[in-house]
Amino acid sequence: MLYTQTVEKLKSLRLEGMVQALEEQRRQREILPLDFEERLALLVERQWLWKENRGLAIRLHNAQFKISASLEDLDYRSSRGLKRAQIEQLRASQWIKEHRNCLITGPTGSGKTYLACAVGSQACREGYRTLYFYAPKFFRTLEMARADGSLLALLKKLARAPLILIDDLGIASVPGKLYREFLEMLDDRQGQGATLITSQFPVNQWHEIIADPTVADAILDRLVHNAYRLELKGESMRKSKTAPAENQNSSS
């Protein structure tokens, strides 16, 4: 009876990890020789791990990454221009703590989205709340928020996120007024959060994408200063992955 009451109280306190560990301890004879403090330490450790894993699952779910990616699976072929030293700097996530930015450019299919999602996933593992946006959808979200009067609330939400990923900037035409809203978001995030942007256009061409010279200057001033810049090269990774299969089919 006492055990049942204890479990119910633990559940009411949302200590699910401790409940699981307690039930396992009751089934393990090898746990009996341990003293009270040792068994308690095991219960606390399980609760801590449960909370950490649950927090990570929530952060990954809320981030809404386009693809599941990992820094451990990156392709470092020299032809891609990707350097391990750069990735190790991003892996540590110190740049997020310092509210710096990261700009990833390269041709279509060079792996920009995978790299961005891998960096974002690592940030989630380090405990940073992250939001991923495909650039056209991001600007549509700004436009809809402006239309329904929720823009201020959206900008506040974006300002609070430790890391925001905007994937494929420049892939679609965007009205100038939305770039002004984008500038406002970046201004709100100055010294508050980190921003990662990917684009198939080199950074020196972003003025042409944004069109309005004044807004473009302000946006680049906020993004480029102290930013990590990764320039991917080479042919499409998609082509390289399909080539072996095509060769095999042609030879059969």
Confidence of residue 251 (pLDDT cuts 50, 70, 90): very low
Average pLDDT over residues 227-247: 66
Q: Strands 194-199, 163-167: parallel, antiparallel or unpaired by DSSP?
A: parallel
Q: 71-77 long-range contacts, Cβ below 8 Å, gap at least 24? A: 71/118, 71/119, 71/121, 71/122, 73/118, 74/111, 74/114, 74/115, 74/118, 75/111, 75/237, 77/234
Neighbours of 154 (CB within 10 A): 17
**Separation between Cα atoms, residue 35 and residue 33, nearest integer Å:** 6
Q: Give the tokens for residue 149.
A: 């009067």
Contacts with 154 (C-beta within 8 Å, 6 or more apart), sequence order: 141, 142, 145
Q: What are the structural domain ranges in the chain? A: 2-62, 65-237
**Separation between Cα atoms, residue 120 and residue 55, nearest integer Å:** 15
**Separation between Cα atoms, residue 166 and residue 197, nearest integer Å:** 5
Tell me: the pLDDT tens digits for 184-229? 999 999 989 999 999 999 999 999 899 889 999 999 999 998 899 9
| pTM listed for this prediction | 0.80
Which stretches within the chain are classed as H helix? Answer: 2-12, 16-27, 36-63, 84-91, 94-97, 112-125, 135-148, 151-160, 176-189, 206-210, 213-224, 237-251
Which residues, listed in sequence order, are joined to residue 102 by a DSSP beta bridge?
196, 228
215, 183 Cβ separation under 8 angstroms: yes
pLDDT over threshold 90, residue 119: yes
Amino acid found at 161: A
Average per-residue pLDDT for the chain:
88
- Chain Cα centroid distance, residue 249: 37
Largest CA distance in the chain: 74
What is residue 75's predicted lDDT score, i.e. its pLDDT? Answer: 84
What is residue 235's predicted lDDT score, i.e. its pLDDT? Answer: 66
**Separation between Cα atoms, residue 127 and residue 144, nearest integer Å:** 30
Q: Give the tokens for residue 241.
A: 């992955």
Query: If you classify domain 65-237 with CATH, what class do you get?
Result: alpha beta
CA atoms within 13 A on the CB side of 33: 1
Confidence of residue 237 (pLDDT cuts 50, 70, 90): low
Average pLDDT over residues 83-109: 91
